[in-house]
Structure 1
Amino acid sequence: MSYEMIALLMFSTMMLMLLTGKRVFGAIGFVAVIFALGMWGDGGSEMAFSAAMKLMKWYPLLTLPLFVYMGYMLSESGLADDLYRMFHVWMGPVRGGLAIGTIVLMVAVSAMNGLSVAGMAIGASIALPELLRRGYDKVMVTGVIQAGSSLGILVPPSVVLVLYGMIARQPVGQLWLAGVFPGLLMAGMFMLYIAIRCWLQPEMGPALSKEERAEITWADKIGLLKAGVVPLFIFFSMTGLFLMGITSLVESSAVGALAATIAALAKRRLNRAVMEETLRKTLSISCMFMWIILAALAFGAVFDGLGAVKAIESLFVDQLGLGPWQILIMMQISFVLMGMFLDDTAMLVIVAPLYVPLVGALGFDLVWYGVLYTITCQIAYMTPPFGYNLFLMRAMAPPEVTLKDIYKSITPFVIIMAMALGIVMVFPQIALWLPEWHYAR
């Protein structure tokens, strides 16, 4: 049997196991080990062992549990709730102001956690009931929360970019910095859309009434401003130390975790229940990603050993005669299609052994491609029939928000995301300028 046929059999076996509902890391790791043993005998067993050692020696991986811990500490202790109350008071007088404030909240939560699930949980439990109570259109605000929470996998400290960095062998620090401006661009486009729509259709996002504004004193505003600034100060001080070169990436994550714990303690929000829940969720998420990275490294090693990447490159470039940009666009479309059925980690692990080396061979920057992949994952998160965020929202939304409302809500935001993806593809420096500037120093 030719190596091309073995690679195809390996890939199809993995897909079949995933379709049976097996855990992602189990399916991928099992296929990698079985095929390695079948082709190289006892020596093939060293591939999985080598992947495990490579994972354990990868120093930046320490940032993963520390940043996840920081996000859950701020969330479980209620410090993130203060942010929403601050935005509610300060932006409520503007048409659509609460929805715009919700996007800002999502960016802040993303910058503290690195996962879309945390933003979705806070948005659906805190922001959504308040927006509905204030008379906001339920379809629009449902889309706002889904789109805003998806920023968690792009804005640093993105856990997805950590996974990509490990598989693509790219510096996590550069990837995180590359996600800053595309994330802010997308958030700005979301807010502009909300502002324009609520200006044209005031009933979609009514402002706070004069009576309600009169009840809020300047003392209340200043008090909430101080409370809401605490989590933002934690993030910006941590990021500032990193950008100034005072701390390394791992040290910055430790600073953030320690600062979040001290803030919760100072606010008298830290108790046994909060600490147990934070540690439990941190351990669960961190172990999940470590197992996935381990399986992906083993799978990628076997795939590379087969020469499958060269075969795919020859198929696209030599036999089909496609240009680099045509191949890149096909890759992005395939991510969207896979995202209808799989989550972001499964998508990356399945196609990374094929796509990442091919992208490098075509002459594209792998840090920039990491941002493109992440934006495409955001689109896939919100694409029917099985978009990840669609079902998270259905599970968390109140009864009056139906599945039809949820599906309708994502259309304008998916269009905006696709526009943002196109902008970053046409102007790569949006993603690459900040890491180039920082590391040039």
Structure 2
Amino acid sequence: MSYELMAILLFGSMMVMLLTGQRVFGAIGGVATLFALLLWGEGAAEMPYHASIVLLNWYPLLTLPLFIYMGYMFSEAGIADDLYRMFHVWFGPVRGGLAVGTIGLMTAVAAMNGLSVAGMAIGASLCLPEMLKRKYDKVMVTGVIQAGSSLGIMVPPSVVLVLYGMIARQPVGHLWMAGVFPGFLMSSLFIIYILIRCWLNPKMGPVLSAEERQISWGEKLKLLRAGIIPLVIIFSMTGLFLSGVTSLVECSAAGAATTTLAAFLNRRLTKKVLINTMRETLSVSCMFMWVILAALAFSSVFDGLGAVHAISSLFLERWHLGRWGVMIMMQLSYIIMGMFLDDTAMLIIVAPLYVPLVIKLGFNPIWYGVLYTLTCQMAYLTPPFGYNLFLMKAMAPPEITIRDIYRSVWPFVLVMLFGLIILMIFPQISLWLPSHYFGLEMK
């Protein structure tokens, strides 16, 4: 049996195991270990050991639990309440203004935690009831919350970009900088879509009532103070890192400490909040660690089979695709896999294969990391197995059905697809900031 056929069999076995509903790390790691033993005998049993050593020696991985802690502390302590009140007052008089304010809140949350989960929790518990109470279209606002929360994996400090940096061996600082403009581009496209849709159909996003709009300018200006805490948290973390004051790990610790201090000063740092935050942080961090461990073992087996060469030969020699044809095929494969797998599983499966090919074709791996992350955003929303779809169903009130949730995401998926095309046509949207800041030539 040829190595190419073995690689296909390995990949197919893993896909079958994932579709059975097994835990991601168990399916991927189990298949990798089984094939390693079949191919190379008992000596291959050391592969998971070496993979774990690589993982434990990767110092920046310490940022992972700290960023997760920040997201859950921000959510559990209710710091977002005042911030949403500010958006509520300032954007409420505009058609679709509360939905626009929700995207603004989600962008702020994304810039403080790097995960989608915190944005979903805040949006479903805080923003969704407010918009439904004011007769917003339930399908549209459900999509707004799901799309807005997905910004957490693009806007720095994105945990997904950290994981991509580890597997693709690219500097996290460059990836974070590359995600700034694309993140705000997607946020702006969401807002433009909401405003146009509510302008065409005002019933979908009515303005606030006259009574709610009777707020003096003095009170409006006071509400702006709610934006100070997020700005302080963002500066204590991303700002200090990009200015060279702190390292990557130090900036995550500074952000976690600042978020905890903000909860304490707002008198919301209770025993219950702290316990819930620590429990969720431990659970999610351990899940990520197991998945990364399985990913490294799987990548080692794939590399040993020469799968990278096989994929390159398939695209370039057999299908005779040009470099852009290969890039489009990669993105299409991500979009299709995103309907069945989460972002971590996608990264595990194809990053070890695609990144060397991307570099071989002369594309920038930093730019490609941004494209990958944007397709992950789409994966969070695309049925049947979109991660945010299930979270929304668990958090939404009974009047929002699973059919409503599935219907709500497609306009935003199309907006993301439009944004993906823009980033592919204009790579400098991603590369200008890291090249300018770090003084590097990036093409």
Give the TM-score normalised by structure 1: 0.96
- 1:360: which partner in 2? 359
Partner of 1:314: 313
Residue 352 of structure 1 aligns to which amino acid in structure 2? A
Superposed CA deviations along residues 204-255 of structure 1, whole A, max 9, x for unmatched, are: 21222222222x3445434432234212321134222122111111111111
1:280 Cα offset (Å):
0.8
Question: Hey, what does 2:379 align to over in structure 1?
Answer: 380
How is 1:53-68 mapped onto 2 (pairs within 5 angstroms)?
53-68=53-68
Partner of 2:170 in structure 1?
A: 170
Cα separation, 2, equivalents of 1:408 and 1:9: 36
Contact persistence 2:120–2:146 (CA under 8 A): yes
SS in structure 2 opposite 1:173? helix
Structure 2 runs not aligned, ≥5 long: none
Q: Which deviations, in whole Å up to 9, do the C-alpha atoms of 1:361-399 show, x marking residues without a partner?
A: 222111111111111121222222332222222222222
Moved more, 89-98 or 217-226: 217-226
Contact in 1 for aligned 2:93/2:213 (Cα 8 Å): yes
CA drift at 1:345:
1.0
Match of 2:210 in 1: 210
How many pairs are equivalent? 440
Deviation at 1:27, TM superposition (A): 1.5
Structure 2 contact 331–375 (Cα < 8 Å) conserved: yes
14-23 or 426-435: which moved more?
A: 14-23
Work out the CA distance in 1 between the residues paired with 2:357 and 2:113.
Answer: 31
SS of the residue 1:207 aligns to: coil
> 1:40 maps to what in 2?
40
> 1:290 and 2:253 equivalent?
no
User: Where do 5+ consecutive residues of structure 1 fail to align?
Assistant: none
Q: Distance in 2 between matches of 1:385 and 1:40?
A: 37
Asked whether the 8 Å contact 1:60–1:249 carries over to 2, the reply is: yes
Deviation at 1:351, TM superposition (A): 2.0
Q: Distance in 2 between matches of 1:41 and 1:254?
A: 43
Using the TM superposition, give the Cα deviation of residue 299 of structure 1 relative to its aligned residue in structure 2, in angstroms.
0.9
Alpha-carbon distance in 2 for matches of 1:409, 1:29? 35
Shift in Å at residue 268 of structure 1? 1.1
3-state SS of the aligned residue for 2:176?
helix
Superimposed CA distance per residue, residues 319-377 of structure 1 (whole angstroms, 9 cap, x where no aligned partner): 11111111111111111111111111112212223222222222211111111111112
2:309 counterpart of 1:279? no
TM-score by length of 2: 0.95
What amino acid sits opposite 2:174 in the alignment?
Answer: Q
Give the corresponding residue for 1:241.
Answer: 240
Q: Which residue of 1 aligns with 2:119?
A: 119
Which residues of 2 match residues 139-158 of structure 1 at below 5 A? 139-158=139-158
Instruction: Render the CA deviation track for 1:153-203: whole Å, top value 9, x for unaligned.
Output: 111111111221111111122112111110100100111111222233222
Contact kept, 8 Å, 1:163 with 1:289, in 2: the verdict is no
One-letter amino acid of the counterpart of residue 161, structure 2:
L
Q: Deviation string for 1:68-104 (max 9, x for gaps)?
A: 1112111111112221111111211222111111001
Counterpart AA for 1:106: M
* Structure 1 partner of 2:96: 96
Aligned to 1:267: 266
SS of the aligned residue for 1:21 comes to coil
Matched residues in 1 for 2:5 and 2:195: separation? Answer: 54
Residue identity opposite 1:162 in structure 2: V
| Residue of structure 2 equivalent to 1:225 | 224
SS of residue paired to 2:54: helix
User: SS of 1:123's equivalent?
Assistant: helix
Instruction: Between 11-20 and 269-278, report the one with greater CA deviation.
Output: 11-20
* Aligned counterparts of 2:3 and 2:407: Cα–Cα separation in 1: 46
One-letter amino acid of the structure 2 residue matched with residue 364 of structure 1: F
* Rounded Cα–Cα distance in structure 1 between residues aligned with 2:108 and 2:239: 15
Asked if 1:401 corresponds to 2:400, the answer is yes
Aligned to 2:327: 328
1:419 corresponding residue in structure 2: 418
